[in-house]
Amino acid sequence: MTLIKQELKKRANPKKAKLLSGFFKTGKGEYGEGDIFLGVIVPETREVAKMFLDLELSEIEKSLFSKIHEERLASLLILVEKYKNGDLPTKKEIFNFYLKNTKYINNWDLVDLTSHKIVGEWLVDKSREILYRLAQSENLWERRISIISCFAFIRNNDFKDAFEISKILLKDKHDLIHKAVGWILREIGKRNLKAEEKFLQEGRRYKNMPRTMLRYAIEKFDEEKRKKYLNGEI
């Protein structure tokens, strides 16, 4: 048993574990099938992660390979902190380690809490080609990584790749991708509403995107404008 798992088990809550198992769709045929929860909430998992910031990647890897969701999350949160405080060679090593192990970054919270802080941050001043490959992956979570990583660029008012990857994912069949793309578009709109609306209206794109994606994208619009988009009147 890893040290991380030992600390997490001290905080285990069976009632919360049952709730989280349902929330993260761990049933047969669902996207989180087989994932095991201890019932440790994210703030507590962060506390555990902070206890092990000196772990080497070889030790972090053992926890990342765990069947326990919170242990995988703790290992990824450690990576985020090590990346943030690391020198250039360390950052590169963590970036490569992260992408090498995407099969274990296999639920939306694991992606959303970490990908933009490692993958996105590393690519801020580099080619984003890898994101386009991930966007076309058969792996749901790699596709989500491709779009969520764009948060790092959006913070710098750099929207190009977020828009291009959104185009690739426009016809994705999974609801979790619809939500992620809509969320990204909404965040762009907070910074530059004209840019978001141009994207939505170009070729009447908003009429062809999944309804969930559109709803997320226009969530912060005023009520009148939101209704017009939903009714196809723009």
pLDDT in tens, 96-148: 999 999 999 999 999 999 999 999 999 999 999 999 999 999 999 999 999 99
CA distances (Å), 204 to each of 190, 198, 209, in order?
A: 21, 10, 9
Half-sphere exposure of 217 (CA within 13 A, CB side): 29
Provide the sign of the torsion angle of the four alpha carbons 9, 12, 18, 20, taken in this order: negative
pLDDT score at 114: 98
Written as six digits, the tokens of 154 are 């959006």
Contact 27, 87 (CB under 8 A): no
- Stretch 21-27: mean pLDDT: 95
Question: Computed from CA positions of residues 169, 156, 102, 132, in that sequence, does the dihedral angle turn out positive or negative?
Answer: positive
The one-letter code for the residue type at 220 is K
For all residues of the chain together, what is the average pLDDT? 97
Of the pLDDT bands very low, low, confident and very high (cuts 50, 70, 90), residue 199 is very high
Q: For 36, phi and psi rounded to 5 degrees? A: -110, 130
Question: 158: which residues sit within 8 A by CB, 6+ positions away?
Answer: none
Domains and CATH numbers, the chain: 1-107 (1.25.10.90), 114-234 (1.25.10.90)
Distance CA 82, CA 190 (A): 30
pTM to 2 decimals?
Answer: 0.96
SS3 assignment, position 156: coil
- pLDDT, tens digit (0-9, with 9 covering 90-100), for 146-181: 999 999 999 999 999 999 999 999 999 999 999 999
Whether the CB-CB separation of 78 and 55 falls below 8 Å is answered with yes
Closest of 114, 119, 118, 141 to residue 130, by C-alpha? 119
Closest listed residue to residue 37, CA positions, set 58, 20, 15, 59: 20
How far apart are the C-alpha atoms of 173 and 33, rounded to whole Å? 18
Residue 10: pLDDT band (50, 70, 90) is very high
Confidence of residue 1 (pLDDT cuts 50, 70, 90): confident
Cα atoms in the Cβ-side hemisphere of radius 13 Å centred on 30: 14
